[in-house]
Chain A
Amino acid sequence: MIAADARVYRLGEFHPFAAEGHRFLYLVPAGAIFELDAAARAVIDRLAGGEASHDDLVAQLKAVGLSTPDAEELIVELYQSRVITAGDIKPEPLEEAPADCPLQTLVLNLTNQCNLSCQYCYEFGADKVATPSGKPKFMNFETAKASVDFLLQQSAGRRGVHITFFGGETLMNFPLLQNVVIYARDRADEQGRSIDFSMTTNATLLTPAIIEFLSENRIGVTVSMDGPADLHDKLRVFANGRGSYGIIEPRVRELIQKHRTRPITARVTLTSGVTDVIRIFRHLKNDLGFHEVGFAPVTTSPNQLYAINDRGMDDVLAQFHQLADEYLEYALRGEMHGFSNVSDTLSELYQGVNKSHPCGAALGLVGVGPSGDIAPCHRFVDSDTHALGHISTGIDREKQNDFLRRGHINSKYDCHTCWARPLCAGGCHHEAYVRYGDTGHPNLHYCDWIRGWTETCLRIYGAISVHNPEFFRVFAERKALS
């Protein structure tokens, strides 16, 4: 160990950012966000020009008006928080995930059948990973019950657990959904635990009775929808090519009007020609009344016609920025804006997440297909290559470990020098598989995009923390509920 006064200091690993005339840093190895005062800024500006010895630094700080004890204290504070560092430091790899990480969420693919034929669908499209031939098309109640029991058994220690219903088109197996909700709630009650539900649907099959059931049982609903009719109908079509907007529009309006127990969200897939983010947002948020609207570019290999090219992505990001500015105006007034992409990132920044894996797939979350096969998440359901076991025999730990080892940030060399890695951790396993044929490959095609977006959200975070820090209470409560 080097004595404090013999140290030669340099900058630690952080990403500096500014907002509203204040300066902040995002401490990458921890995921921590700090605001800097003038003295701390002076140290960082000095070290940005190169290393400095302890005595040099003290002298420099005295020149800007600090007493020697104050300067020493500041240096210790920055050193201990690892904003500045000294000497050779051997990097410690991030912790491994616990071998028996308890489940929190189960995604039940109630069916792999769908009444739409969206060309970009990752379950049916050209890039699909599913191998459904010879497997059941609809989940039966026995498999669903076994899945619920499995979730409750594998989530020991968690008070609350979560089931997400998914498809195919989820509502093509609505009778099973009803039975599962009743069965799961009874089992959870017996154990004195809580369970909540959510689902994703294309909204074509919603009826007043279904909406009533969803509302009564507090089932969160996400509607896959791509915007106003001209954009939505480009790819979200029935098998005969007819667009689905006309069918779902009245149903969505009724859902939002009658389902009052949970916020209703829209999930938009951006494709080539469907990149008019602002117009889509306005339509879904203002005209239809969704509480939140989230966007994601389509998952695709690069040569598909509906893939968005680089220029298209720049255009999307520019519109994201415009909505993000609007989000900030709302936040400063203490209002929710409804642009999920900002809320989700702010929520993670608020916690200070530092991810070993991009998401909970195969950790706290697994997907179960109609056959009872267990997959890392709903996107890998029905794929023989990625199956992690069967609901009757449990998770194959060897396969799970292999999946997690490859997806771990430690094995993604490209990410090790990136400041956005605590949030991104290399990005979606499924997207990586579609692009690179390996779930453990970092998603290098959107690095610039992720960094640009994270920077924007950091600036919003900084601005909110200066003018309306109370706003973050939403995220503290949101996390406490989950």
Chain B
Amino acid sequence: MKHLRPLNQKASRIAVQLARPTGDNEDDVIALQNPPQPAPRPHIPMGCSLSFSPGWEVDSAGGTAGLCQPVERDIYDCYVTCFWPAQVPDHLNNYPDWASKCAAATKDWRNLDLVFP
């Protein structure tokens, strides 16, 4: 390394790794551990108008058990992205953490819980 001076043991390991002959392709060598996240992009809302979500319906039996997606999926749509007024926790003031364990609603919707003001 010419322009970066490694100052700790991990940096020295990267330097050793990069100093190995790589043949023609410089991309054969990569630094340790996982790469940086891609640059942030505009947040595209996944709300009612852009993707299919069941509304506040009931299923054929009058309940919510038979909906094609769990109701939590729909609640989550109303949390940040949707203009539709629905009873979701106030994420600006009182429950900023309500959805902090739900990065991907399709996978993590079980982590959305009731709040008791």
Which residues of A come within 8 Å of B, CB atoms? 1, 4, 10, 12-13, 24, 27-37, 39-40, 51, 73-74, 76-83, 85, 88-89, 91-94, 349-354, 413-414, 416-417, 444, 461-462, 465, 469
Which residues from A are CB-within-8-Å of B34? Answer: 29, 91-94
Chain B residues lying within 8 Å of A462, measured Cβ to Cβ, are 7
Report the separation of the CA atoms of residues A33 and B8 in the bound assembly, to the nearest whole angstrom: 6
Interface residues of B in 82-108 (CB under 8 A from A): 97, 100-101, 103
Q: What A residues does B2 contact at CB under 8 A?
A: 37, 73-74, 77
With the chains together, A231 CA to B1 CA distance in Å?
52
B29 contacts partner chain A, Cβ-Cβ < 8 Å: yes
When the two chains form their complex, are residues A29 and B36 in contact, meaning their CB atoms are under 8 A apart?
yes
Number of A-B residue pairs having CB atoms within 8 Å of each other in the complex: 129
Check B5–A37 contact: CB distance below 8 A. Answer: yes
Contact residues of B between 20 and 61, Cβ < 8 Å to A: 26-27, 29-39
Among B3, B8, B33, B36, the residue within 8 A (CB) of A74 is B3
Q: Are B6 and A32 in contact (CB under 8 A)?
A: yes
> Is B112 part of the binding interface, using a Cβ–Cβ cutoff of 8 Å?
no
Chain B interface extent, by class: 20 to 34
B residues apposed to A, CB below 8 Å = 1-11, 13-14, 18, 26-27, 29-39, 97, 100-101, 103
User: Is the CB–CB distance between B26 and A76 below 8 Å?
Assistant: yes
Would B37 and A350 count as touching, CB distance under 8 A?
A: no
B10 touches A77 (CB 8 A): no
Q: Which residue of B lies closest to A89 (CB)?
A: B35
Beyond contacts A29-B32, A73-B2, A91-B34: 19 other A-B pairs, Cβ-Cβ < 8 A, are A29-B34, A29-B36, A30-B11, A31-B10, A32-B10, A33-B6, A34-B6, A36-B4, A37-B3, A74-B2, A78-B3, A78-B4, A80-B30, A81-B1, A81-B18, A82-B35, A89-B38, A91-B36, A417-B37
Contacts of B14 in A (CB 8 A): 27, 30, 32, 81
A35 close to B7 (CB less than 8 A): yes
B9-A350 in contact (CB<8A): yes
Which A residues are in CB contact (< 8 Å) with B97?
Answer: 444
Chain B residues whose CB sits within 8 angstroms of the CB of A349 once the complex forms? 8
Closest A residue to B5 by beta carbon equals: A35
Which residue from chain B places its CB closest to the CB of A469 in the assembled complex?
B7
How far, in Å, is B30 (CB) from chain A's closest CB?
7
Q: Is the CB–CB distance between A12 and B8 below 8 Å?
A: no
Q: Considering the chains assembled together, what is the distance between the CA atoms of A37 and B12 in angstroms?
A: 16
* Across-interface contacts of B37 in A (CB, < 8 A): 13, 89, 91, 416-417
- Across the interface, A352 reaches (CB within 8 A) one of B9, B35, B103, namely B9
**A465 x B10 contact (CB < 8 A):** no
Q: What residues on A are CB-neighbors of B38 within 8 Å?
A: 88-89, 91
Contact partner, B3, options A33, A77, A82, A469, Cβ 8 Å: A77
| Set of chain B residues within 8 Å of A350, measured between Cβ atoms | 8-9
Instruction: Give the residue name and chain of the A residue nearest to B97 (CB).
Output: A444
Complex Cα–Cα for A217 and B5 (A): 43
Would you call A465 and B7 a contact (CB within 8 A)? yes
Chain A residues contacting B6 (CB-CB under 8 Å) are 32-34
> Is A4 within 8 A of B26, CB to CB?
yes
